[in-house]
Copies of this chain bind each other. A is one copy, B any other.
């Protein structure tokens, strides 16, 4: 009798871990923030950096990080910073997948511009429905990138890491295609729109000023001088 009971328990545990895991809005946002800040896979994210990203206080971060650690979503040792665990990383990637799919929907179907989508997608990414996301993915014809050029993880959390370079790292004479932006703030995106700089366009470094790093670039038919504030936020595929 107790043998059967144990087997049923194991199945229930499996089902819950695969489909019923629910996290609060705040927990999901923390996981996403840790993912974005964790550039080097083994470098912990500091409490202050997380507080800055989450627009909150360090003490609040400590509390939440403990909670996430209790749920095995992060690895945390006092004063040592925090890392995503494997399950934390999977969860973060699913939230990012939802965020980016909704961004594609907003731009392609609802006529949003690429500087308007982030705020709304921040809310839509927390809607809980496996079917909603798989059907949305199908409806959008399985897009590989969001409107800013960022890759969209698939249902398994896998995504292509593009070999891309910052425009600011290119030398005079080099050229490539604009494949992404690092800064996705409305201010920067509107600047790009105003100057007709868009994903997919060809950019060549005509001249580079040693003093301040500013560049004269040829973007399709247009010649333009841009500062490092701009070139350090544009990704190029050579």
Contact residues of A with B, CB < 8 Å? 106, 109-112, 116, 119-120, 123-124, 127-129, 131-132, 135-136, 139
Main secondary structure of the interface of A (DSSP, over half): helix
Taken together, the copies of this chain in the complex come to 2
* Interchain CA distance A157-B159 in the complex, whole Å: 43
- Contact (A136, B124) CB under 8 Å given A116-B131, A131-B116: no
Selected from B109, B123, B129, B135, the residue in CB contact (under 8 A) with A128 is B123
The answer on a CB contact under 8 Å between A120 and B129 is yes
Identity of the chain B residue whose Cβ is nearest the Cβ of A134 in the assembled complex: B110
Identity of the chain B residue whose Cβ is nearest the Cβ of A135 in the assembled complex: B110
Selected from B111, B116, B135, the residue in CB contact (under 8 A) with A112 is B135
The answer on a CB contact under 8 Å between B132 and A120 is yes
Q: Can you report 20 A-B residue pairs in the complex whose CB atoms are below 8 A from each other? A: A106-B132, A109-B139, A110-B132, A110-B135, A110-B136, A110-B139, A111-B135, A112-B131, A112-B135, A116-B131, A119-B129, A120-B127, A120-B129, A120-B131, A120-B132, A123-B127, A123-B128, A123-B129, A124-B124, A124-B127
